[in-house]
Amino acid sequence: MKLLLVDDSLAIQESFGSLLEAAPGVRVIGYAEDVAGALAFIAANPPDLIVLDARLRGGELGIDLLRHVRQHHSNIEVVMLSQLNWTAVRRSHLEAGAMAYFDKGLEFQQARDFIADLANARSAAAAEREGRAESSE
């Protein structure tokens, strides 16, 4: 599963990116710090999944990117990873179309496990589709 990590913190990009790369079936294909960088990356090399912070460089909001992705790239999934862990913020991102919302300070490992499970499920589904295609030939 190809993943784009969008976070304005270089430390988070490096640490969570490394943690994700260690998960079977996950390949981090890029990083972005803001909405413009993420949109440029998506246009050039669409990921399967975006891991997105709720607050980005320059005060930009991740929910704006989330809404754009849901509207224009419905095949790309989004998982939120943020320190903004208020119930209303979490709920607004989930209602806008995020698959899940994890607290960056408390749920790093849970986020990694969720993404690894998602990658495994996608791999299994792809293998099953491939098997059905071969058996119908």
Rounded to whole angstroms, the Cα distance separating 122 from 137 reads: 23
Beta strand 49-52 with 27-32 is: unpaired
Q: Which two tokens stand for residue 89?
A: 């913020």
Q: How many domains is the chain partitioned into structurally?
A: 1
* pLDDT confidence of residue 108: 87
For the chain (137 residues), the mean pLDDT of every run of 10, in chain order, is: 95 91 93 96 97 92 96 96 88 96 91 94 76 63
Is residue 54 within 8 Å of 89, Cβ to Cβ?
yes
Give the structural domain span for 78: 2-135
Q: In what order do the strands lie in the sheet with 27-32?
A: 27-32, 2-6, 49-52, 77-82, 100-103
What's 52's domain CATH number? 3.40.50.2300
* pLDDT confidence of residue 38: 97
Rounded to whole angstroms, the Cα distance separating 87 from 72 reads: 27
Give the predicted TM-score (pTM) of the model: 0.90
Q: Determine which helix (DSSP H) or strand (DSSP E) holds 114, and give its type and residue range.
A: helix 108-135
The one-letter code for the residue type at 63 is I
Is residue 20 within 8 Å of 119, Cβ to Cβ?
no
Cα–chain-centroid distance for residue 98? Answer: 9
* pLDDT confidence of residue 132: 65
